[in-house]
Amino acid sequence: MSATTTTRVALITGGSGGIGRAVAERLAQDGLAVAVQYAGNKARAEETVAAITAAGGRALAVGGDVADEQAMSAAFDAVEAAFGGIDVVVNTAGIMVLGPVATFDLDALDRMHRTNIRGTFVVSQQAARRVRPGGAIVNFSTSVVRTQLPSYAAYVASKAAVEGMTLTLARELRGRDITVNAVAPGPTATPLFLDGKDEATIATLAKATPFERLGTPEDIAEVVSFLAGPARWTNGQVLYANGGLA
């Protein structure tokens, strides 16, 4: 059999930076061929691909809006054409806008929900149709669903929706030998998390876990690697990857 039919293949949305890039690089290290999806930053996606290729892996970049079903259908087509199929889909693409409910900008709410809810749903829909037996779908929530910090209500609402669709999809794929789980990171040192926070706030959040540090993208990628590979008996779950945050 050719390499295109024997190598496991992963598609990572939002794979050009932050957690997404760490996940792409980790899955490539695990031996998967990797497709790095990007929305607007083609150059960063190609940097991720170049880094994976330089390390001996196989990768390509695919563009498109995760909330656009035609764009995502085309992206999945491109990955299947290049690598022969898809085994793992990881939805790291997301945006975060913070603010209290009383004054929250509803246009920002709509933008965030379009990417975080509709985008995850569109990609999960394609994954449910195409992922091969033995595969895995990994969506992204947040530990703030449980910690309920002020100013996170709109973001948490979008991620709670992701948890709901993830757990339901796991049951819908009965008999397909496909796991569906969500990862809920705690405070993690990414541009998405750090943007707009002062040093005192970051220091306080870093001290919140027993490890007294922020998580790293690589910490989260390790959990995704587990779910994408050996974790065949972990299904329909939300894994809180947060270093022991209460």
Q: Where are the domains of the chain?
A: 3-186+217-239
Amino acid 3: pLDDT: 43
| Residue 155 a catalytic site member | yes
pLDDT value of position 198: 78
Element (H, E) at 19: helix 18-29
b/e burial code for range 109-134 (CB count within 10 A of at least 16 → b)? beebbbbbbbbbbbbbebbbebbeee
Q: Residue 195: what pLDDT?
A: 72
Determine which one of 38, 152, 155, 240 is catalytic: 155
Identify the architecture of domain 3-186+217-239 in CATH.
3-Layer(aba) Sandwich (3.40)
* CA-wise closest residue to 82 among 58, 55, 48, 56: 58
- pLDDT at position 2: 40
Q: How many CB atoms lie within 10 A of CB 172?
A: 11
Nearest CA among 127, 71, 117 for reference residue 93 = 117
pTM of the model: 0.93
Walk along the chain (246 residues) and give the pLDDT tens digit of each residue.
Answer: 344 446 899 999 999 889 999 999 999 999 999 999 999 889 999 999 999 999 999 999 999 999 999 999 999 999 999 999 999 999 999 999 999 999 999 999 999 999 999 999 999 999 999 999 999 999 999 999 998 889 999 999 999 999 999 999 999 999 999 999 999 999 888 776 777 677 887 888 788 888 888 889 999 999 999 999 999 999 999 999 999 986
Vertex 171 angle, CA 165 and 177, to 5°: 115
CA–CA dist 38, 42 (Å, integer) = 6
